[in-house]
Each structure stands twice: as structure tokens, then as C-alpha cells.
Structure 1
Amino acid sequence: MRLKVKAELRKRLRGVRKTTPIEACMERSAAIVSALEAHPSVQNAKSVALFWPIVTRHEVDLRPLDASLRARGARVAYPTIDPESGVMSFRFVDDTSHLEEKGYGFMEPSAEAPPAEALDAIVVPAIAVDPAGHRIGYGAGYYDRTLPRYAPPAVTLIVAYDWQLVAEVPIVETDVACDWVVTDKRIIEARLA
């Protein structure tokens, strides 16, 4: 039953996000990036994992955060999926022009990029999120299986537009809660929600 509710919520909010004007998404993304830049977990981080936005899906655009992190000397990693095992990990990228689409629908680092064995902060995408740090992603479970390998000590921050914040996300045993929820209007310490 919970999986059905999750699937329905995922479908509904993906539809809403897709109809949100791109200009509104960019404005809200800028507010989210500003909040992340001011967040101590990101401010003090020497290594941060981001995700490259799928603009056609109106995802939160973190490209300005990538630029500001690099400008202050932080290392930036991006997710990649091993085509043989299906396991997601993060790899450091010195130049985002080296990201490539490998068949999973998002831009990934090359197999030659150095693996991120440890990270200080991981910024996580969501289609829906609740104040307790539970999220609905695209349904493949990549982040839920990957985050426990890095966090703790990495701090996990879900980013979403404020309208993607719901009272409660239906969860299953394999779902992993994140530490913080960052929207264009608020920051929630999930552990305290």
C-alpha cells in the first residue's frame, strides 16, 4: 500500500514540477543555492557531492553552487552508476564539461574520475520530501542504497522547492532519512522534526 501511495505522490508531484515555469524554477533554485552556501555543513565542507540538474524535469539547479564551491577550493563530486553492478557511487570532477550522459538519464563523471571515498556533505534531489528528512526520488533507490556508505560522517541535505514539502512521505524499510531539508523558503533540521 505504501509503495502505491509513493508512486501516486511521485507521479502527481512530477506533473506539478513539469508544469512549473522554468523561470520560477530558476528563481527558487537561486534561493536554495543561497541557503546551501550559508549552511555550515556546506560552508565548512572540503568535499561536497552534488547532482547535475535535469533541466527538462525542472530539477533544482545547483550549477551556481558548484561554481562557488570550486571558487573557494572545495572538491565537488557527482553520482555515477556502475553499468555492470548497478551500484551508485560518487566521483570527483575537476571540470563539469567532462560529465556525460551514460544511459541513466543524468550527467555522470567518467569512469576515470577519482572516486570520492569520503565526503563532508551530500546534496540529494527529491520529488517530494517531509520535515523528517524522508524523500521520494525517481523510484530506483540509488540514494537509499548509497547514502549509508557515506553518511555519517557526511551530512545529507535534501533540496526541493517548498511546494514539494509534504506532511509525511510514506516510507518503507529501505528508505534512508537525510539530516536537513533545504527549500527555497526554509531550512529544516530533520533530526528535530
Structure 2
Amino acid sequence: MDKKTIRKKIIAERDEMDFDVKQAKDELIVNKFLELGFIDKYDNIFSYVNFGSEIDVGKILSTILEKGKNLFVPYVDVKSKQMYLCQITDLSTDLEKGHYGILEPKKNLRKPVNSDIIDCVISPGVAFTTKKDRTGYGGGYYDRFYSSLKQRPFIVALAYDFQILESLPTESFDVPVDMIITEKKIIK
């Protein structure tokens, strides 16, 4: 299967999940992430803000802020196809709907950030492998972002078990993750 077909199949399966089942799986995945102590270990954490049927990271984001760590979230420039970071300090007031309907930092908060300070990334993705390959939504935003960094941060992906495939078509610019946490396992 090509990437486009894989994306369509996995997103459809994710979208069709029963609400209660999704909520239970999200809680298991989020709690595993929190128990692994990443928030205590890292100071500058970059995370996606979930939308659609992605795993709900709200509890992780609020825990990062409660522990006094620096939380960065993305916004995109669709024309240049670049993703930028913005530090936020309040989940209820600092975000607004942006491109694709995804919550992004409000425009007045966006200031240039030295992305090289990021030491941990909570990465979104559509499909993964046990070798930690990652396929995103097809825009290449995260791969370009990772390639632009001088130092590679620790990249952890949150996924449902059905998002882990035997193999994925990969290209030279695809950046693998360092760990994947699902409701059933942790892939290191």
C-alpha cells in the first residue's frame, strides 16, 4: 500500500472508534506517558494540539504547565509549508482555531523561538512501525522541522495499537521517532 492509502485507511479506522472506547484508550496512553516521567526529565517540550480523532493530549499539556515546564505548540505557514513554535502558558486563553481547524497559538503570541532549545517532542502521526518509522498527514511539516534542528530532541509518539503496522513506505526525508506509546505497549 502507498502512503496515501495507508493514511486514508488508518484515519477512517480512528474516526470510526466508539467514543467510550477512544476515551478509555486515550486515558491509558496518556497515563503511560505521564508515568514515564518525561515532564520531570525535560524542560522544553513541544507538543501537537490534538484535533479530530487524534489522541487527546489535554491532560499532558496541562501537566507540563502545572509543573512549570516550557510548553511549545505548533502553528503553520501554509504558503511556505513551514511549521513554527510558540510558547504558551494558558490552554484556555492562548489558542485559537487556525489552518485545517487545528488549535494554534493566537497571532499576538507568536514570536520567533530558537527551536534548538526543544529537548522533547510529543509527535502526532497517522501510522508507525515497530522500527519506529512514522507517517504523518502528508504535509511534511514535522519532517522538515526535525531536519532543521541542530540537535535532535527525544521524539515520542502517541498512537493506538492499530496504527502500528508491519512496514511503511519510507523516504530519505522521513524522520523516525524514538518511542511509541500505545494502549497496549511501549515501543523503544
What's the TM-score once normalised by structure 1's chain length?
0.87
Moved over 6 A (4+): none
**What corresponds to 1:160 in structure 2?**
159
In the alignment, what sits opposite 1:173?
172
Provide, for residues 31-70 of structure 1, a one-character-per-residue CA deviation record: whole Å limited to 9, x for no partner. Answer: 111111122444311121111111xx21100000111111
Greater shift, 162-171 or 142-151, is seen at: 142-151
Pair 1:77-2:72 in alignment: yes
Partner of 1:34: 31
1:151 is displaced (CA, Å) by 7.1
Which residue does the alignment assign to 1:5? Answer: 2
* 1:91 maps to which of 86, 90, 95: 86
Pick closer, same or farther for the CA change 1:83–1:6 going to 2, 3 Å. Answer: closer
- Normalising by the residue count of structure 2, what TM-score does the alignment of the two structures yield? 0.89
The yes-or-no answer on 1:62 pairing with 2:61 is no
Q: Which amino acid aligns with 2:141?
A: Y
Determine whether 1:109 maps to 2:108. no
- Decide which moves more: 33-42 or 159-168: 33-42
Partner of 2:140: 141
* Alignment partners' CA distance in 2, 1:183 and 1:145: 25
Q: How far off its partner does 1:149 sit?
A: 2.9
* 1:16 has 2:52 as partner: no
Counterpart Cα distance in 2 of 1:99 and 1:93: 8
- Amino acid in the other structure paired with 1:136: T
Q: How far 1:85 moved relative to its partner? A: 2.4
Identity of aligned residues (%): 24
Q: Which deviations, in whole Å up to 9, do the C-alpha atoms of 1:113-165 show, x marking residues without a partner?
A: 34442212101111111112211211111111112334734100111111111
Contact 2:39 2:69 in 1 (8 A): no
The letter for the 1-side match of 2:32 is A
Is contact 2:135–2:174 with CA below 8 Å preserved after alignment?
no
Does structure 2 conserve the Cα–Cα contact (< 8 Å) formed by 1:133 and 1:158?
A: no
When structure 1 is superposed on structure 2, of 151-160 and 6-15 the one drifting more is 151-160
Task: Specify the code of the residue in structure 1 equivalent to 2:47.
Answer: L
Tell me the number of residue pairs that the alignment of Structure 1 and Structure 2 aligns: 184
| Residue type at the aligned position of 1:13 | I
CA–CA distance in structure 1, aligned partners of residues 15 and 185 of structure 2: 22
Per-residue deviation, 1:84: 4.5
The amino acid across from 1:31 in the alignment is: L
Q: What are structure 2's unaligned runs of at least 5 residues?
A: none
Structure 1 or 2: more strand by fraction: 2
